[in-house]
């Protein structure tokens, strides 16, 4: 089944403890991106990647890192999470000129 | 800064009615346009792409007006299952390589 898989689905962590949210797609898509969704603010792009080893900042990249060492994987790294990074996170992938397919989301709480 | 504006609603509509949403986008160079549907904080799902010539998929019709920079979605014969948040989405690069810019969504409630 063609899909985007995010892990974990739910995570509660403490301020400053490094974490990684994984994202993997099995559709051989070139494009991948990360979004966060917050009440009243909608979905905002964090980082995107056009292909392996090609990444760029979106609208809200502060406090996040990404890597694209393989085409299928695009992990989101929070080196030192803070409470304002508590959010619902979505990973998505696409090929050129098609709409994006989203993962099921990761609900992160930083205390 | 690129922006996509939508009326947040909620739109309360009786079952069987026709409902229309619009959205406007700020970047005249935007390349691709979509409507996504999102249920109860689940992942957004692609509803349909939007073209200048207009396109239809069953009860759904989408239209793009590049001159006025707005996008519309029409839902005919609405069903209870159409209740959701509808997200207007644009990309600024050809093909969507730089990801998506979302409107904040329009909340639709279909009432029996």
User: What are A35's strand-pairing partners?
Assistant: A45, A90
* Secondary element (H or E) of residue B34: strand B32-38
Instruction: Using alpha carbons only, give the angle B2, B3, B6 rounded to the nearest 5 degrees.
Output: 165
Helix (H, G, I), strand (E, B) or coil at B29: coil
User: Are the C-beta atoms of B50 and B34 separated by less than 8 Å?
Assistant: yes
Q: Could you give the CA distance from residue B48 to residue B51 in angstroms, rounded to a whole number?
A: 10
Name every residue whose Cβ is closer than 8 Å to that of residue A39 and which is 6 or more positions away in sequence.
Answer: none
Put simply, the answer to whether B95 touches A43 (Cβ < 8 Å) is no
B16-26 tens-digit pLDDT = 999 999 999 99
A57-69 tens-digit pLDDT = 999 999 999 999 9
Put simply, the answer to whether A96 touches B95 (Cβ < 8 Å) is yes
- Predicted confidence band of residue B94 (pLDDT cuts 50, 70, 90): low
Q: What is the DSSP letter of A97?
A: T
Rounded percentage of chain A residues whose pLDDT exceeds 90: 93
Q: Could you give the CA distance from residue A44 to residue A35 in angstroms, rounded to a whole number?
A: 5
Residue B29 clears pLDDT 90, i.e. is over it = no
A74 versus A2: which is more confidently predicted?
A74
A1-42 tens-digit pLDDT = 889 999 999 999 999 999 999 999 999 999 999 999 999 999
Number of H helices, E strands in chain B: 0, 11
**In this structure, what token pair is assigned to residue A18?**
């490094």
Put simply, the answer to whether B97 touches A96 (Cβ < 8 Å) is yes
Which positions in chain B touch A42 (Cβ < 8 Å)? 87, 102-105
B33-70 tens-digit pLDDT = 999 999 987 999 999 999 888 899 999 999 999 999 99
Q: Could you give the CA distance from residue A51 to residue A49 in angstroms, rounded to a whole number?
A: 6
pLDDT value of residue B25: 95
Separation in Å, CA of A99 to nearest CA in chain B? 7
- Phi–psi pair at B108, nearest 5 degrees: -115, 130
Put simply, the answer to whether A103 touches B46 (Cβ < 8 Å) is no
Which positions in chain B touch A35 (Cβ < 8 Å)? 99-100, 102
pLDDT value of residue B1: 58
Put simply, the answer to whether A97 touches B101 (Cβ < 8 Å) is no
């Amino acid at each position: 089944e063609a899909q985007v898989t995010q892990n974990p689905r739910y995570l509660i962590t403490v301020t400053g403890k490094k974490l990684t949210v994984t994202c993997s797609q099995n559709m051989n898509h070139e494009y991948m991106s990360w979004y966060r969704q917050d009440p009243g603010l909608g979905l905002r792009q964090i980082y995107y990647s056009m292909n392996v080893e090609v990444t760029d900042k979106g609208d809200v990249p502060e406090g996040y890192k990404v890597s694209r060492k393989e085409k299928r994987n695009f992990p989101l790294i929070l080196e030192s999470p803070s409470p304002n990074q508590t959010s619902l996170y979505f990973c998505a992938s696409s090929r050129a000129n098609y709409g994006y397919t989203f993962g099921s989301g990761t609900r992160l709480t930083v205390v | 800064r690129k922006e996509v504006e939508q009326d947040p609603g909620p739109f309360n509509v009786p079952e069987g009615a026709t409902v229309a949403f619009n959205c406007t986008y700020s970047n005249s160079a935007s390349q691709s346009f979509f409507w996504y549907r999102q249920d109860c904080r689940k992942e957004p799902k692609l509803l349909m792409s939007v073209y200048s010539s207009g396109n239809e998929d069953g009860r759904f019709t989408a239209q793009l007006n590049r001159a006025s920079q707005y996008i519309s979605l029409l839902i005919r014969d609405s069903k209870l299952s159409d209740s959701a948040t509808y997200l207007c989405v644009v990309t600024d690069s050809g093909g969507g390589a730089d990801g998506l810019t979302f409107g904040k969504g329009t909340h639709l409630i279909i009432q029996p």
